[in-house]
Amino acid sequence: MDANIHQFPPYRESEDHGHDGHDHGHDDHGGHEHHDPGFWRGYVFSSDHKIIGIQYGFTALCFMLFGFFLMLLMRWQIAHPSEPVPLGLGWLLEKILGNAAAGGIISPELYNSFGAMHGTIMVFLAIVPLAFAAFGNYVVPLMIGAPDMAFPRVNMASYQAYFLGGMTMFVSFFIPGGAAQAGWTSYSPLATSIPTHGQLFWILGMVLLINSSLLGAVNFIATIIQLRAPGMTWMRLPFFVWAQFVTAFLLLLAFPPLEAASVMQLMDNVAHTSFFLPTGLATGGNLAHISGGGSPLLWQHLFWFLGHPEVYVLILPGMGIVCEIIACNTRKPIWGYKSLVYSVLLIGFLSFIVWAHHMYMTGMGTKISAFFQTTTMIISIPSVIILTCLFISLWGGSIRINTPMLFALAFLPMFGIGGLTGLPLGFNASDLYLHDTYYVIAHFHYVVAPGTIFALFAGIYYWYPKMTGRKMNEFWGSVHFWCSLIFMNLVFMPMFEQGMKGMLRRMADGGANYSAAHSPGVADALPGTIMELHHWILLAAICLGFAQIPFIVNVFWSMKHGEKVGDNPWEATTIEWQTPTPPPHGNFTTPVHIYRGPYEYSVPGHATDFTPQNEPETTFIPSKVPVPAH
C-alpha cells in the first residue's frame, strides 16, 4: 500500500500487512502521527474527533457558566424586585444594555430576555452539546475501536454550526430591543408580536443549532454501525455507546419538525405570513395587520414533538456515563445489562408519543389526554428499570469512593426525585393546578441540574486522565461535589412548596403582586413565608456559584500539576483505556479485536479484578500452591 493512502479503518488490515518491513510501518504511521498540521488546522479547524470533542466541551461549559450568571441575575430580581443589582453589576448592565437596565434595575422586559435565553442556552448550547457532542465525540470512537468518526469533516462542520448558532444568540443581547423575550419555547403569536429583532436572531441561531445536531446525529449513527472493531458485536457495546446511539436517533427524528417550524415562524416574522398567527389577533388593543388563518397550537405541537425527546437527549448520555463509572468503581459486572439496553431502546420509541402532556391546558379532549397520560406513565417504567439496575449493581460490590463515583452515586436519587415529581404533571387532573408553577421548575431542574449535570461532572472527572494524562485533584473534587449537592438541593427543593402554594413562574417580581402583603384579605394569596423563600434560594444560588470555583481551578491546575497516570488509571475494562494517553491521531497503535463484553470485572481465576475487552481469551489452569515447610 502506498504510504499516502491509508486503509479506513486501519484495524481491517491483515495481521501480516504492516509487518512487511520496519520502514513501511514507519511510513504508514507517519501520515497519522508525525505530521504537524499547525495550530489552526490542529486545534481550530481540526477534523480529529478528540479535538472536536474538547472544543464542544469547552464551549458548552462556557455557555453553561453564562447561563448560570443569567439565572443569578433573575434570582436577584425575583428576591428584590425593582432594586438595583449590587456589586457594580447593575451599573455594568446599564452600560451594556442601556434603558432595559436603567439605574441598574432589571426591567420586566430584560427579565423576560434573561429567562428566555437562560433556558435556551442551558438546554441547546450547554447541556446537550456537552452530554451528546463533547463526550460522544471524544469517547464513542475510542469505546468501539474506531480510528475516528465516519465523516470527520462533517463532524467539524457540526461544531462550526453549533458555535455560529451560539454566537448568533449571544450577540442578540446587544442589538436594539435586546434578546428574545418569548421564553425558551418561543410560543407564537407572542414570538411574532414582541417588538424586538432578538426573536429573529433566536430563530436563526436555532436553525444553525438544529443543523449542527442533525449532522452530529447522522455521524454518530454511521460511526457506531460501520466502524466497530472486529468482535464488537451489538451486545458487547458499552452502555454509554447504546445511550449515545439512541440519543442520535432522537435528534435525527425529532429536530426536523422543529426546523420546519422555525423556518415558518421566521417567515411569520419577516415575510408577514401567518403560519402560526390566527385570524382576529389583537396586539396592544388593535387588530394585527395579518392575513390570519394560522394555528398557534401547531407551533406547540411541533415544538414539543422535539421538546420531550429532548428531555431524553439530556438524560440518556448522563445515564450512560453513570453506568460506566458505577461498573468500574464497584468492580463487578453491571446488573441487568440487557435490561438496560432494551429499556433505553424502549425510551427512544416512547419518547415520540408523549409530547402533548405539555399541552393539557390547550383544551385537549378527554380521549386524547387519556392517551398521553397512559404513554407518559408507561415511559416511566423503562426509566425505573435503568435506575433499578444501577442501584442493584451497587449490591455486593467492592465500592471505590472517588470524585467520579460521588457524582455518579448522587445522580441516582437526584434523578429519582426529578422523575417521581414528574408523575403528577403527567396526569391531566393534577397538571391543571401545577402547570406553569414553580413546581414545574423544580421538577425539570431536578432532572437536569443535580441529575444530568452531576452525571456530566462525573464524566469530566472520570475521562479527564485519558484526555490529559493527569488526574484532577481528589480533595477539591470532593469539595466541589459536597458543596454542589447541598446548595443544588437548597435552590430547587423549596420550589416544590412554592409551586404547590400556587406561585406562578415567569413573573419578574416573583409573585409579589399576588402576595398576602400586597393584597391583604385576599383568599389564597401567597403567604409571607413562601415569598421569603426567594431570599434563601438566592443565597443558595450564590453559594452554588462559588462552589464551582474549585472545579474551574481544578480543571486548569491539573493540566500541569495533576498526578501523572498511566493509560488505565481506573483499571477499567472498556477499550478507550487501552489506547496511549492521550490517544494519538488514529487512536490505536495496534489492531483492535474484541473478545468479551464491556464489564468483565472480578472474573474468577483471572490475575486481576478487571479483564479488558481486547485481552485475548486464555485458559486458566489452577495450580497447586506449594506449602512452605515449617
pLDDT band at 525 (very low <50, low <70, confident <90, very high): confident
Percent of the chain with pLDDT over 70: 92
Q: By the 8 A CB rule, do 480 and 554 touch?
A: yes
C-alpha cell, 438: 414553580
Among 29-33, 41-45, 54-58, 231-235, where is mean pLDDT lowest?
A: 29-33
Residue 420: what pLDDT?
95
- pLDDT per position as a tens digit, 210-226: 999 999 999 999 999 99
Mean pLDDT of 354-369: 93
Alpha carbon distance 147, 48 (integer Å):
9
Alpha carbon distance 449, 67 (integer Å):
12
Residue 193: what pLDDT?
87
CA atoms 105, 107, 110, 112: torsion sign? positive
pLDDT band at 518 (very low <50, low <70, confident <90, very high): confident
Residue 402: what pLDDT?
96
Q: What is the DSSP letter of 40?
A: I
Mean pLDDT of 260-282: 92
Q: What is the DSSP letter of 610?
A: B
Residue 358 carries which side chain, given as an amino acid letter? Answer: H
Give this prediction's pTM: 0.90
Say which residue, 328 or 30, is predicted with more confidence: 328
pLDDT band at 242 (very low <50, low <70, confident <90, very high): very high
Q: How many C-beta atoms lie closer than 10 Å to residue 338's C-beta?
A: 9
- Report domain extents, the chain: 53-277+294-578
- pLDDT per position as a tens digit, 476-498: 999 999 999 999 999 999 999 99
- Asked if pLDDT for residue 605 goes beyond 80, the answer is yes
- Asked if pLDDT for residue 11 goes beyond 70, the answer is no
Tell how strand 282-283 and strand 286-287 pair up: antiparallel
Averaged pLDDT score across all residues of the chain: 90
- Asked if pLDDT for residue 629 goes beyond 80, the answer is no
C-alpha cell, 544: 452554588
Cα 440–245–217 angle (5° rounding)?
85
Which of 10-19, 148-157, 583-592, 605-614 shows the highest mean pLDDT? Answer: 148-157
- Asked if pLDDT for residue 81 goes beyond 50, the answer is yes
Residue 16: what pLDDT?
40
Alpha carbon distance 583, 587 (integer Å):
5
CATH 3.10.129.10 matches 53-277+294-578 = no
Residue 206: what pLDDT?
96
Among 115-129, 134-148, 185-199, 371-385, where is mean pLDDT lowest?
A: 185-199
Mean pLDDT of 550-566: 96
- pLDDT per position as a tens digit, 417-473: 999 999 999 999 999 999 999 999 999 999 999 999 999 999 999 999 999 999 999
- pLDDT per position as a tens digit, 568-579: 999 999 999 999
Helix, strand, coil percentages for the chain (3-state, nearest 5)? 65, 0, 30
Q: To 10 degrees, what angle do helices 403-426 and 454-468 make?
A: 150
Percent of the chain with pLDDT over 90: 81
Q: Is 286 helix (H, G, I), strand (E, B) or coil?
A: strand
- Asked if pLDDT for residue 3 goes beyond 60, the answer is no
C-alpha cell, 138: 471524544
Across 472-535, the runs of DSSP E, i.e. the strands, are: none
Alpha carbon distance 459, 453 (integer Å):
10
Determine the straight-line distance between the first and last CA of the chain, rounded to whole angstroms. Answer: 65
pLDDT band at 627 (very low <50, low <70, confident <90, very high): low
pLDDT band at 9 (very low <50, low <70, confident <90, very high): very low
- Asked if pLDDT for residue 208 goes beyond 90, the answer is yes
Backbone angles phi, psi at 514, to 5 degrees: -105, 10
Q: At a CB cut-off of 8 Å and minimum separation 6, what does 552 contact?
A: none
- Asked if pLDDT for residue 174 goes beyond 80, the answer is yes
Residue 21: what pLDDT?
40
